[in-house]
Structure 1
Amino acid sequence: MVRVTVWNEYRHERESDVVADLYPDGIHAVLAEILEEAGHEVRTATLDEGPDHGLTEEVLADTDVLTWWGHAAHDEVRDEVVDRVHERVLDGMGLLVLHSGHYSKIFKKLMGTSCSLKWREAAETERLWVVEPSHPIADGLGEYIELDEAEMYGERFDIPAPDTLVFNSWFAGGETFRSGCCYRRGNGKVFYFRPGHETYPVYYDDDVRQVLRNAVEWAAPGDGPTPDFGNADPIEDIDTSDDRTVH
């Protein structure tokens, strides 16, 4: 069982009837349901949930994997909270960044780039090819995932080269896009997953739901040793009398 916090901006669902019809209790409620069905311990948090956006130090300390969906209000996320999440990722917390979360403060901070891309809303077909079929995030999938209606994201996607690229998308309009990108930052694992536009029923697709379940398990912290940093005593018996130092 993984302790998951599902974070959602939760603005579109309250401001658009189209989005509210698809996600009446918010995108976070559907994501939480997907992960609860997999047996994980899930809580939700939203942008307007207090000054910490629901991501207090206590909540993050009790989180193994954080999922992040945002779009219209990236700038409203407080820098102090972004720094807090960043530190937890470096300490080992997993992070799943979904769809338009590519432009969130936390993803840009972790990537160190603009994370910009091309886009188009035309309800076009997207085909996500599984280009790394042996990766745990691809477990249980076929050769590709096909979505009848999707928002197009196109290259160039201004991100560092992924440690592993699991999915590469093709769109009916002709563009391609790196849609499933794995990174390690410090002790933490980061996965960016492209599908999830708010006006299309993407999170009800069985394959997309399988990816999310797989990704949470992949991103969860392991039981490896905690690294030590700083000045270190020798393991072997050596002469430590040399005092040439400026520290």
Structure 2
Amino acid sequence: MIQVTVWNEYRHEKTDEEVQKMYPEGIHGQLANFIGEEFTVRTATLDEEEHGLTEEVLAETDVLLWWGHVAHDEVQDEIVNRVHQRVLEGMGLIVLHSGHFSKIFKKLMGTSCDLKWREDGKHCRIWNVNPSHPIVEGVGEMIELEQEEMYGEHFDIPAPDELVFVTWFPGGEVFRSGCTYRRGNGKVFYFQPGHETYPSYYNEQVQKVIKNAIRWCAPTENTYPTYGHYQAREDV
């Protein structure tokens, strides 16, 4: 069975009553609740030793989910480098919502990953623009959320390997809200919904996307390449 680790900085839930009410078990707890229906899941948070991402935990992780917002700078560079190496070796990574500004996503993208944003409590429509992709299987043509934070272009990321979702917001903005990348042997999926005071992670279609993305991001048996000095295979 696919082994999933859900990482959350777990700060809003400790200090904000509105977030506590929305996610009483923490955002990582709600993610783990529905992910655990189909996969083996564990959680890790920022304030744990080594942020809960020890070498042993990562070695046992097939797919890592990442949610962060106010404490990106507190993530130790040593841990970022550790996660980065595991992605290159084949571990899948799903970056959610404000995780776009995390150190690990910026390191993998090589850009600022900045964007426009507005928290106005309005609805959005997440359009499926890649209907044959495994990540959208069973999701349908569109996901409509009653409330979600506006993220708008320009989103400073490299052109996605595959664009899966584009979201429309009633203020007139659009956003590349579902993007896939391959880095080394690993696969990366960025998915925009997930503001901490809105119920996006209770939405069944959003849950379906995340479960599909876990399957898509899971490692294959492909051999990790050999790098560095290399002995000739033939005498020349």
Please indicate the TM-score interval, normalised by the length of the shorter structure.
over 0.9
The DSSP-based 3-state class of the residue aligned with 1:87 is helix
Q: Residue in 2 aligned with 1:64? A: 62
Note if 1:84 corresponds to 2:56: no
Distance 2:231 2:204 in 1: 50
The answer to whether the Cα contact below 8 Å between 2:89 and 2:224 also exists between their aligned partners in 1 is no
Flag as ranges the 4+ runs of structure 1 deviating above 2 A.
224-230
Note if 1:36 corresponds to 2:36: yes
**Alpha-carbon shift at residue 239 of structure 1 (Å):** 4.2
Q: Residue in 2 aligned with 1:108? A: 106
Distance 2:235 2:58 in 1: 44
Q: Residue in 2 aligned with 1:19? A: 19
The DSSP-based 3-state class of the residue aligned with 1:149 is coil
Q: Residue in 2 aligned with 1:49? A: 48
Bigger CA radius of gyration: 1
Note if 1:164 corresponds to 2:162: yes
The DSSP-based 3-state class of the residue aligned with 2:224 is coil
Distance 1:42 1:141 in 2: 22
Distance 1:232 1:122 in 2: 60
Q: Which amino acid aligns with 2:103?
A: K
After TM superposition, the score normalised by the length of structure 1 is: 0.93
Distance 2:151 2:35 in 1: 26
CA-to-aligned-CA distance 1:50-83 (integer Å, 9 cap, x gap): 2x10001111011000000000000000000000
The DSSP-based 3-state class of the residue aligned with 1:150 is coil
After TM superposition, the score normalised by the length of structure 2 is: 0.98
Distance 1:232 1:94 in 2: 31
Alignment partner of 1:148 out of 146, 149, 172: 146
Q: Which amino acid aligns with 1:14?
A: K
**Alpha-carbon shift at residue 228 of structure 1 (Å):** 2.7
Q: Residue in 2 aligned with 1:243? A: none
How many residues in Structure 1 have an aligned counterpart in Structure 2?
235
Distance 1:72 1:19 in 2: 13
Distance 1:197 1:157 in 2: 17
Distance 1:29 1:35 in 2: 10
Distance 1:96 1:15 in 2: 26
Task: Give the RMSD, CA atoms, in angstroms.
Answer: 0.9
Note if 1:173 corresponds to 2:171: yes
Q: Which amino acid aligns with 1:42?
A: V
Identity of aligned residues (%): 66
After alignment, is 88-97 or 217-226 more displaced?
217-226
Q: Which amino acid aligns with 2:105?
A: F
Alignment partner of 2:116 out of 115, 118, 127: 118
Alignment partner of 2:212 out of 211, 214, 222: 214
Q: Residue in 2 aligned with 1:3? A: 3
Distance 2:15 2:224 in 1: 45
Q: Which runs of 5+ in 2 are unaligned?
A: none
Distance 1:119 1:233 in 2: 53
The DSSP-based 3-state class of the residue aligned with 2:123 is strand
The DSSP-based 3-state class of the residue aligned with 2:139 is coil
Q: Which runs of 5+ in 1 are unaligned?
A: 241-247
**Alpha-carbon shift at residue 233 of structure 1 (Å):** 3.2
